[in-house]
Amino acid sequence: MKYPSVHIDKSFNITVSNMIDFNARIVSGVSMGNVALNENISLYINEMHSRFSVKIKSRFLPDGSERNLYTVDNALTVVTDKDGVILSLGCNAHYQGGYNGIIFPGMKVIDIIKLTMSQKIYNGSIIINDDFGVSFILPPPYDEVADAISHIPGGLIINEIFVSDFSFWR
């Protein structure tokens, strides 16, 4: 878990570096925005509400389990279970951090193809290099009709990236 860092200068001015950062790298299966999977939302909720605009929605899955979605400044989405455990993290083109420093939200499919060794379509998402800790979400209608990367126009923009454990898709 990350804690904010505190710096006190010679004049006793205190600077606190916050945890949530829309420029932080996207770490497959681990974190996005310095928010970590499998941690509890309670670690971040005070900072979220004090520094950002937060929209909260609840959803129920077909199996009856509850999911809460916290959308932070329309850039980062934190998805939790009913107990607040963070299950997945998503971002869109408002997020400035990247995956492996080379792939960012808002990129064209053709550029993602050029920067990766393999691309496969699973459940309306692109999985690259067999890395099931991060998914690149296809927009409609391609999320429903594309079975292979060749079915997707090269100029299509991928705006959403999610971090979670997608290994059950294999």
Of 88, 120, 144, the last residue of a domain is: 88
Same domain, yes or no: 77 and 115: no
Same domain, yes or no: 84 and 121: no
For residue 126, the enclosing domain spans 107-169
**pLDDT, tens digit, for every residue of 119-146?**
999 999 999 999 999 999 999 999 988 7
**Res 1: pLDDT:** 45
55 part of a folded domain = yes
- Specify the pTM: 0.87
4 part of a folded domain = no
Going along 12-169, which residue ranges are E strands? Answer: 14-17, 31-32, 35-36, 54-60, 66-72, 76-80, 86-91, 107-108, 119-122, 125-128, 134-137, 157-158, 160-163
**pLDDT, tens digit, for every residue of 70-83?**
999 999 999 999 99
**How many folded domains does the chain comprise?**
2
| Structure-token match 């804690």, residue found | 3
2 part of a folded domain = no
Low-confidence residues of the chain, pLDDT below 70?
A: 1-18
30 part of a folded domain = yes
**Res 146: pLDDT:** 77
